[in-house]
Amino acid sequence: MTGDSPSTRRRFLRGLGATAVAVAGGATASGAAAAPDDDLTLGFDDEFGRYPAWAAGAFDGSVEPAVETRAMNGNCYRWWAEVTLLERLSPGESLSLAERLTGERDDAFDLVTAQEWWTEEEAPTRGRALPVGEMDAWDRLLDVATTPAIYDGGSTHAVPLTLDLFPLAYDTRHFEEPPTSLATLWESDLEGRVLVDRFRQRYAALHAGEDPDDPEDLDAVRDAVARQEPLLYDRDAEASVADAFEGPVVAGVVPWHRLFRMRFEADLPVDYVVPEEGAFFQGYHAVLPTGSRHPELARRFLDWATRPEHAAELVTRAGRKPAVDVAEHVPERYRVFLTWPEGATYHPDDQLDDEVSVRYAEMRRDL
């Protein structure tokens, strides 16, 4: 979710057709069987890959007294969409996932994941306030993980689990030296060889010298977007980012988790930099829904999950960067790639006001 469009942030219904999978004790089963009231029930977005099944089994064996932990992979947009719909239903109508988030079933979720944009907008009313001053999980977080607006105001309803940067990616065969500026994405000799996967309007604002969240000169942003248009790779709807870099693309804005897979799974010659103008980031956060029946146990899971030796499994099982330092617990070949440059500028994916969102949406429509 980029936040560049007002409809994007509110498009909770787009995932309603997704199918979820329940995992009990690390074993996968079709459907979501009802859990006894003393079970810990966790909901993870599909982006967490094989990590939830591993975490459920590993956590069970690490705590006393023993518990049974159930982890559910699914589409987090669907879960929150159902909560929104639940508030509009007539008596007698039912949406099972929403009821699990609001505590209206015995198998209610005790912890769920949500992206930063949702946490900022909805967690203060849909999640439990967390005593972060007393939580080891909070103390372990990387500094950049605690910068988004959702942590302002003294009340915190989420703990970051993963971070995803949207840096300047490049093909190491094309560049003798790593690029240093977003100006690379406006170089005229790269016609058809640039891919901007996310945040296009906001990166155009940075290139134009404007505040990307509150630009004073929107015409300058529009001009930057228009000048970049001929340079962009004409990406087929079925083509992946990896396909683009295997083809003509040599530079662009690509999510870190995709770059990680391209580099270490597809063995593509790609690397990334944080340009001098900065780079956007977002992440998945853990939220304890108001309907959580075991909030203390869920906080114990958060403490366990954010220990570096456990968080490192997010790298190997999901290809995701943890929100804590795990350098000592991952293979050496991953370490440099996992370490974001110190002293660089990192822009959190904060909520845009409606006027800026509308203007950015108009730019996309016009082009």
Last residue of a domain, one of 273, 299, 314: 273
Q: Which domain holds residue 46?
A: 6-164+283-338
Please count the structural domains in the chain.
2
Is the model's pLDDT at 284 over the cut of 80? Answer: yes
Is pLDDT larger for residue 312 or for residue 156? 312
Judge whether 18 lies within some domain. yes
> Strand runs (DSSP E) across the chain, as ranges?
21-24, 27-30, 40-45, 69-74, 111-115, 159-160, 162-166, 168-171, 194-196, 251-253, 270-273, 279-282, 284-287, 321-322, 346-348
- The whole-number average pLDDT for the span 348-355 is 86
Cβ neighbors of 322 (< 8 A, separation 6 or more) are 161, 162, 163, 306, 308, 311, 312, 314, 315
Whether residues 12 and 152 share a domain: the answer is yes
Whether residues 70 and 185 share a domain: the answer is no
- The whole-number average pLDDT for the span 53-77 is 80
Whether residues 14 and 142 share a domain: the answer is yes
Phi/psi at 36 (nearest 5 deg)?
-60, 160
Whether residues 121 and 184 share a domain: the answer is no
This prediction has a pTM of 0.83
Whether residues 160 and 11 share a domain: the answer is yes
Judge whether 362 lies within some domain. no
Whether residues 33 and 155 share a domain: the answer is yes
Q: What is the pLDDT of residues 70-127, one digit of tens each?
A: 887 776 666 555 555 545 545 554 455 556 666 666 678 899 898 877 777 778 878 8
Judge whether 358 lies within some domain. no
Last residue of a domain, one of 246, 273, 300: 273
Whether residues 211 and 224 share a domain: the answer is yes
Last residue of a domain, one of 273, 300, 327: 273
